[in-house]
Amino acid sequence: MDLSCRSKSFAQWLLRDAGLGLAACLLACGPVQLVSVLPTTGTAAAPNTNSRDRLQVEVDASTVPLPLRAVGSGTRFIDLERALKVSIQRIVSANGLPTKDQTLHYLLYVELVEARAEVSSGRLLVQLTTRVTLRQESGYTYIAQTHVHATATGSMDPDDGRPVVLECVSTLAAQLRGWISSMPLAP
């Protein structure tokens, strides 16, 4: 039995049949487009660095698959956790912390527990769910915990969808601002 002949026929099969299968899969799946959802620097509010320094924001997105895949399109949204952190920091720095003691520092731990994006009939639907814990930094003292949900929908630009994701992130940050301002932080 001639092994070189078998190897050659296997190589031909691999190129001819398996290559066609791979090409069909790539055509069916379509190209993947990565879109960064980091907010632009031009939309920032006047920074209050004292509030930003006093509230440390940590975002943990390890429980959701990232980049966020928009089901029904080839778009994947990247930098979601960084965009959430920047939005929260901006909103807090613009509004300050509800405490008179300027020496206290806090930790806001934001865990992204669910992230979903779907395109249907040219519209993008984005849903985010977070679990948020507020702690005093010294001693890691627990203050409060909440869940925050946000949904945004809008037309899906053929090349983007970024504004819809940013709207959802901004809604989450605004809800957190309201929650933080209602906290009975130490005077």
Question: Is residue 23 in some structural domain?
Answer: yes
Q: What is the pTM of this model?
A: 0.75
The answer to whether 97 and 185 are in contact (CB under 8 A) is yes
Asked if residue 24 and residue 3 are part of one domain, the reply reads yes
Query: Which of 154, 73, 82, 81 has the alpha carbon at shortest distance from 115?
Result: 81
Give the pLDDT confidence score for residue 66 in this predicted structure: 94
User: Token pair for residue 93?
Assistant: 């720095």
Q: What is the number of structural domains in the chain? A: 2
Question: Is residue 78 in some structural domain?
Answer: yes
Asked if residue 49 and residue 137 are part of one domain, the reply reads yes
Asked if residue 8 and residue 81 are part of one domain, the reply reads no
Asked if residue 6 and residue 68 are part of one domain, the reply reads no
For 27-63, write each residue's pLDDT tens digit. 445 678 899 998 776 544 444 445 556 789 999 999 9
Query: What proportion of the chain, given as a percentage, has pLDDT over 90?
Result: 48
Question: Is residue 154 in some structural domain?
Answer: yes
Query: Over the chain, what is the mean pLDDT?
Result: 79
Asked if residue 75 and residue 63 are part of one domain, the reply reads yes
Task: Give the domain extent around 4.
Answer: 1-30
Question: Is residue 186 in some structural domain?
Answer: no
Query: What proportion of the chain, given as a percentage, has pLDDT over 70?
Result: 70
Question: Is residue 100 in some structural domain?
Answer: yes
Cβ count within 10 A of residue 116: 15
The answer to whether 152 and 128 are in contact (CB under 8 A) is no
Question: Is residue 89 in some structural domain?
Answer: yes
Question: Is residue 130 in some structural domain?
Answer: yes
CATH number, residue 52: 3.40.50.10610
Give the pLDDT confidence score for residue 91 in this predicted structure: 85
The answer to whether 77 and 35 are in contact (CB under 8 A) is yes
Asked if residue 25 and residue 87 are part of one domain, the reply reads no
- H-only helix segments in 63-161: 80-95
What's the per-residue H, E or C state across 145-171? EEEEEEEEEEECCCCCCHHHHHHHHHH
Amino acid at 160: D
Return the higher-pLDDT residue of 126 and 143: 126
Asked if residue 94 and residue 2 are part of one domain, the reply reads no
Asked if residue 62 and residue 50 are part of one domain, the reply reads yes
In this predicted structure, the answer to whether residue 13 has a pLDDT above a threshold of 90 is no
Question: Is residue 147 in some structural domain?
Answer: yes
d(C-alpha 110, C-alpha 57), whole Å: 7
Helix (H) or strand (E) holding 176: helix 162-181
Asked if residue 80 and residue 142 are part of one domain, the reply reads yes
Give the pLDDT confidence score for residue 100 in this predicted structure: 60
For 70-116, write each residue's pLDDT tens digit. 999 989 999 999 999 999 998 877 766 666 666 778 899 999 999 99
Return the higher-pLDDT residue of 109 and 11: 109
